[in-house]
Amino acid sequence: MDSDSDISDNLSDQVDVSNKRYLLRTKVAEIFDVHPQTITNWIDRGLLSGMDIYGRTFVDIRSVERLQSEFSDVVDMEKKVEAYRSELERLEEKYEQACEDLRHTIELYDYALRYKDTVRVLFVKAYRALYRGDDEPTLGIVNSFLSGESPKDIAARQGVSVGKVCNAIKRGVKRLAYIREYKAMADKNRWLKNENKMLKKQNKILEFKLLKKGRLDTFTQEDAEAILSVRIESLNLSNHVHNVLARMNINTLGALVELERDEVLSMHSLGLKSVSELDALLNSKGLYWGMRSGDSSDII
């Protein structure tokens, strides 16, 4: 049998046979947007009515119209099913995410409840540390809330409204926000510590001057410079201190007193006991830590 392409071009796409109109198979395939072989399969299955004319397959137009109507319904249904399937997938993802969020929430609450007593104790301590005054009712409400009691139960027990209980809880928790001010206070405290250190140093100088005031007429600048030039090795110090200062190339009293006491304390192998030994030495000589060149007059 010849194929469709081998037939003469003068045969129309449509033919009338026994008062029935027929349409060429390829045209029917275009209508349904399928392969021509699919049309043949539908004819074999009885979905369409067709016949061969001169080796070309034609399809009854009425069966095409009938199937086209049914086919449209099927396509619409398939679209609805696909949309429904997509919606189910979206809902499934949303459900899985909700389950995951719930699992994390449960774990968080479980963790918090396990340590609620610790949280409650810390809150009470922080609350009392940050508040100057008598606000035990608020403290009691927040303490009960942190112990697991609901605002409604707290309100019923204390004979107040739930709103009042909630406000007390908010007020109590908000008070902990004052802890932020502690950072500024700590920064200021560090500045005051350095300021206090400088003032203590100046006060020490004044004390030395007052102690030496009675011998200003006999103690000269040359005497002061002589003290600063004294060799460390000639002083009555422990062997450990001698060895540490020698390793640091500190050979005279003048070189020693130019250091701050904190610098000396940070020296390797030189502990508080050794620094106290040096403190006693400087006091006996009328010297102080942090002296600079030209300060020898402070000794007088």
How many structural domains comprise the chain? 2
Confidence (pLDDT) at 5: 36
Structural domain for 240, as ranges:
212-299
The verdict on residue 275 lying in a domain is yes
Residue ending a domain, among 73, 96, 119, is 96
Residue at 156: amino acid letter: A
Q: CATH number, domain at 278?
A: 1.10.150.20
d(CA 61, CA 259): 112
Confidence of residue 177 (pLDDT cuts 50, 70, 90): low
Q: Does the pTM of the predicted model rise above 0.95? A: no
Average pLDDT, integer, range 11-29: 74
Confidence (pLDDT) at 2: 38
Residue at 164: amino acid letter: K
The verdict on residue 199 lying in a domain is no
Can you give the length of the chain in residues?
300
Average pLDDT, integer, range 244-272: 85
d(CA 130, CA 132): 7
Residue ending a domain, among 51, 73, 96, is 96
Confidence (pLDDT) at 208: 62
Average pLDDT, integer, range 154-179: 78
The verdict on residue 221 lying in a domain is yes
Whether the CB-CB separation of 264 and 278 falls below 8 Å is answered with yes
pLDDT at 28 over 60: yes
pLDDT at 64 over 80: yes
The verdict on residue 149 lying in a domain is no
The verdict on residue 150 lying in a domain is no
Residue ending a domain, among 47, 73, 96, is 96
Percent of the chain with pLDDT over 90: 0
d(CA 296, CA 221): 7
Residue position matching structure tokens 């909700």: 98
Average pLDDT, integer, range 211-239: 69
The verdict on residue 160 lying in a domain is no
The verdict on residue 33 lying in a domain is yes
The verdict on residue 71 lying in a domain is yes
- Phi, psi (rounded to 5 degrees) for 56: -115, 140
Confidence (pLDDT) at 127: 64
Whether the CB-CB separation of 230 and 251 falls below 8 Å is answered with no
pLDDT at 209 over 70: no
Average pLDDT, integer, range 47-69: 85
Residue position matching structure tokens 């099927």: 74
